[in-house]
Amino acid sequence: MAHKSFSKSVLSAAVALTLAGPLAAMAEDSVKVGLILPMTGASASTGRQIEAAARLYIAEHGNKVAGKTIELIVKDDQGTADMSKRLAQELVVNDKAAILGGFGLTPLALAVGPVATQAKVPAVIMAAGTSMIVEQSPYFVRTSFTLPQNTTPIAEWSVKNGIKKVVTLVSDYGPGLDAEKAFKVKFEAEGGQVLDQLRAPLANPDFAAFLQKAKDLKPDALFLFVPSGQGASLMKQVNERGLTQAGIKVIGTGDVTDDDLLNSMGDDVIGMITSHDYSTDHNSPENKAFVAAFMKATNNLRPNFMAVNGYDGMALIYKALEKTKGDTDGTKLIEAMKGEAWVSPRGPISIDPQTRDIVQNVYIRKVEKKNGQLYNVEFDTIANVKDPTHK
Ligand code: DHB
């Protein structure tokens, strides 16, 4: 009996070894990238754009980097911070993800910060735009944008173009407050005056009362920020209130004239001036190729700024793995990401080695109709803009 059970255990050990061999090799050869995105709920368009762009990047560049196989895992956090945090923990602990990415809204990114720090896993911010997020973990790096970065140029443009008095209306959370402040700081430093700072709730906003208040104050212009997904309902209400007819110019960041929704906003939006880091209409060979490939892969979905953020996020992950020669140590990967620079569909970009935040061109654009479609047409470029608020 003793003999039998001995040989049985030798046998199971041998079976375990033969199984462990290929399994261990497989685990070592693959790099899991966990994207946490809102695939449902109010920010679902952000998730859809980023996932499609990340998959496109992998399809175009192959799923092998420095001898490793990239395995993309996409998780839906439904736009809730508790779930973003839980999914981050599951991805790190159960799936052994080497890199996290995505994060569709500021509160969702903030919820993941402590997990990234504790696990020493890089977390690539591909959507959220509140300036201070990258300061919350040494493992955060950003390929999206910050609101101060994208807002300051339109504040400067406004003063130079005869706008003296402005009312601001923003979503009442991180990026909106960043935009509100950045606008006021620059606009007033250049001699303009902000008459009032209005804030609408992030969830299910009704802008009517705010727009009426703005109209009553008779500013030269109304500055707007809402996150991706809300621009069409905001602009519908702006048009219903007849602000333009009352002689009030409507300006904002490009989050409002989001390329994903722009065609549904109607011709009333033609002429609106915004500043932003990406337009589908950006005139470069890299962007023309990107837009064509993205639309082909998605049954003609128009890529917006979120798509480019996701595409560049994957590019950064590939570049870092190449630099570490496939080493997935989180600290080495984040070090490798610092200072990376390349030409994105949006133009030249880099990762500031001090702040881990993106440095990029910001463009002044005007909504125009071309071939029956609405586009944000870029007409001025402010080159290599850093977030102006980082220390
Ligand atoms: C954020 C989200 C957006 O969709 C956007 O356009 C800008 C900022 C954010 O939550 O940080």
pLDDT in tens, 258-275: 999 999 999 999 999 999
> What tens digit of pLDDT does each residue of 55-83 get?
999 999 999 999 999 999 999 999 999 99
Q: Is the pLDDT of residue 108 over 50?
A: yes
Report the DSSP beta bridge partners of residue 378: 365
Q: Whose CA is nearest to atom 3 of ligand 1?
A: 227
Decide whether any atom of ligand 1 lies within 6 Å of the 176 Cβ: no
Decide whether any atom of ligand 1 lies within 6 Å of the 106 Cβ: yes
In degrees, rounded to 5, the angle at the alpha carbon of residue 367 between the alpha carbons of residues 365 and 371 is: 120
CB-side neighbour CA atoms (13 Å) of 50 = 34
Q: 37 by DSSP, 3-state: which? A: strand
Q: Beta 347-351 vs 358-370: how paired, if at all?
A: antiparallel
Decide whether any atom of ligand 1 lies within 6 Å of the 109 Cβ: no
DSSP H helical ranges for 325-365? 330-337
What confidence score (pLDDT) does residue 253 get? Answer: 98
The first and second tokens of residue 383, run together, are 């080159």
From the CA of 162, how far away is ligand 1's center (Å)? 29
Q: Which regions of the chain does DSSP assign to beta strands (E)? A: 30-37, 64-65, 68-76, 99-102, 123-125, 140-142, 165-171, 193-200, 221-225, 249-253, 273-276, 341-344, 347-351, 358-370, 373-385
Q: 329 by DSSP, 3-state: which? A: coil
Residue 337's nearest CA partner among 121, 145, 141 is 141
Q: Which residue has the tokens 């722009």?
A: 262
Decide whether any atom of ligand 1 lies within 6 Å of the 128 Cβ: yes
The ligand 1 atom at the shortest distance from the C-alpha of residue 108 is 10
Q: Give mean pLDDT, residues 340-354.
A: 98
Decide whether any atom of ligand 1 lies within 6 Å of the 177 Cβ: no
User: What's phi and psi for 359, nearest 5 deg?
Assistant: -115, 130
**Distance (Å, whole) CA 343 – CA 47:** 23
The ligand 1 atom at the shortest distance from the C-alpha of residue 258 is 6
Report the DSSP beta bridge partners of residue 167: 196, 222
Average pLDDT of the chain, as a whole number: 94
From the CA of 364, how far away is ligand 1's center (Å)? 19
Decide whether any atom of ligand 1 lies within 6 Å of the 309 Cβ: no
Confidence of residue 27 (pLDDT cuts 50, 70, 90): low
What confidence score (pLDDT) does residue 262 get? Answer: 98
Confidence of residue 5 (pLDDT cuts 50, 70, 90): very low
Positive or negative torsion for Cα 55, 56, 59, 60: negative
Residue 30's nearest CA partner among 93, 80, 95, 79 is 95
Decide whether any atom of ligand 1 lies within 6 Å of the 219 Cβ: no
Decide whether any atom of ligand 1 lies within 6 Å of the 360 Cβ: no
What confidence score (pLDDT) does residue 391 get? Answer: 82
Helix then strand then coil, % of the chain, to nearest 5: 45, 25, 30
Q: In the chain, what is the straight-line distance between the N-terminal and C-terminal CA atoms, in Å? A: 73
Give the DSSP H or E segment for 316: helix 305-323
Decide whether any atom of ligand 1 lies within 6 Å of the 255 Cβ: yes
The first and second tokens of residue 65, run together, are 């980097």
> What tens digit of pLDDT does each residue of 169-190 get?
999 999 999 999 999 999 999 9
What confidence score (pLDDT) does residue 358 get? Answer: 99
Top mutation candidate among 45, 103, 106 for ligand 1, by most atoms within 8 Å of CB: 106
**Distance (Å, whole) CA 116 – CA 138:** 9
The pTM of this model reads 0.93
Q: Whose CA is nearest to atom 8 of ligand 1?
A: 129
DSSP H helical ranges for 120-166? 147-160
**Distance (Å, whole) CA 66 – CA 197:** 50
From the CA of 109, how far away is ligand 1's center (Å)? 11
Q: Whose CA is nearest to atom 10 of ligand 1?
A: 105
Top mutation candidate among 77, 126, 150, 228 for ligand 1, by most atoms within 8 Å of CB: 228
Decide whether any atom of ligand 1 lies within 6 Å of the 110 Cβ: no
**Distance (Å, whole) CA 187 – CA 101:** 34
Task: Give percent above pLDDT 90 in the chain.
Answer: 93
126 within 8 A of 149, measured Cβ to Cβ:
no
